[in-house]
Amino acid sequence: MTLLLLIVLLVVAWWLLGRDHRSPADRDYEADERNRMPAELADGKLVLSEQYRRTDVPRKLGARFDQVFLTPDGRLVPVDTKRRRRTRVTPYDQIEVSVQGAVLRHGRPGPLSRYEVASYGYLRIVRESLPTVYLRFPLLGDCELEALVDRYQGIQSGEVEPRAARSPAMCRKCAYRADCSADVARLR
Ligand code: SF4
């Protein structure tokens, strides 16, 4: 009798664990999202999600990862999600995801250290009432990030003169606007 009860419990547990508990709407959403993904992400594996990590190389940097995928050929690719209508990669996007690339190269968790880090990343742009798009772009390397950090610190300390930004939009979001004589948005 005890054996019979055990078998029944095991069958129930197997049935419950093996079932797909997602609702039809969730399943449709996931299938739709997968169809829009680049093949290497759709066929890859999600290995990091919503995690903050740091590195001291090439400079002290920290990054919050939205998602990192392991492609079928063994590369780690950062994917950053933005909710907006505009479907282009800005210099700010490139720097943000490049920092994620540097943190992956120098500060990825042990089990991921045997994989190569891709020299590119993706921006996943979620648009209201429009299909999600994935944009691939090259990541900045360590030397380029080093130069950016040094320049940023130089501007903060007053040793480096800021250059005028390439567009007024950059100035409108800038934290140093109040003290900057090169503010393009104000000068135009
Ligand atoms: S306000 Fe000055 S420092 Fe900020 S982005 Fe514009 S030009 Fe650069």
* Spans of all domains in the chain: 23-142
Q: Which of 155, 156, 170 to mutate to test the pocket of ligand 1 (most atoms within 8 A of CB)?
A: 170
User: Mean pLDDT over residues 103-127, rounded?
Assistant: 95
- Please report which confidence band the pLDDT of residue 172 belongs to, taking 50, 70 and 90 as the band edges: confident
- Please report which confidence band the pLDDT of residue 133 belongs to, taking 50, 70 and 90 as the band edges: very high
CATH classification for the domain delimited by 23-142, as one of 3.30.70.20, 2.60.40.10, 3.40.1350.10, 3.40.50.2000: 3.40.1350.10
CB 103 within 8 A of CB 145: no
Q: What does the pLDDT look like over 25-69, one tens digit per residue?
A: 777 777 888 889 999 999 999 999 999 999 999 999 999 999 999
Examine the pLDDT at 92 and tell me if it is beyond 80.
yes
Q: 128 C-alpha vs ligand 1 centroid, how far in Å?
A: 31
pLDDT for position 19? 66
CB 120 within 8 A of CB 138: yes
User: Mean pLDDT over residues 97-124, rounded?
Assistant: 96
For residues 43-56, b (16+ Cβ closer than 10 Å) or e, as one string? ebeebbeeeebebe
C-alpha neighbours within 13 Å on the C-beta side of residue 80 = 24
User: Mean pLDDT over residues 128-150, rounded?
Assistant: 96
Output the residue whose Cα is nearest ligand 1's atom 5. 171
pLDDT for position 17? 65
End-to-end CA distance of the chain: 86
Residues with CB under 6 A from ligand 1: 162, 164-165, 170-171, 174, 176-177, 180, 182-184
pLDDT for position 15? 67
Q: What does the pLDDT look like over 8-22, one tens digit per residue?
A: 777 777 766 666 676
Any idea which of 22-31, 70-79, 113-122, 164-173 has the lowest mean pLDDT? 22-31
Compute the mean pLDDT over every residue in the chain, rounded to the nearest whole number: 89
pTM to 2 decimal places: 0.79
Q: 114 C-alpha vs ligand 1 centroid, how far in Å?
A: 40
pLDDT for position 57? 93
DSSP the chain: -HHHHHHHHHHHHHHHHHS----HHHHHHHHHHHHHS-HHHHTSEEEEEEEEEEE-SSSSEEEEEEEEEE-TTSEEEEEEEEESS--S--HHHHHHHHHHHHHHHHH--GGGTTSEEPSEEEEEEEETTEEEEEEEEEPP-HHHHHHHHHHHHHHHHTSSPPPPPSSHHHHHT-TTGGG-TT-HHHH-
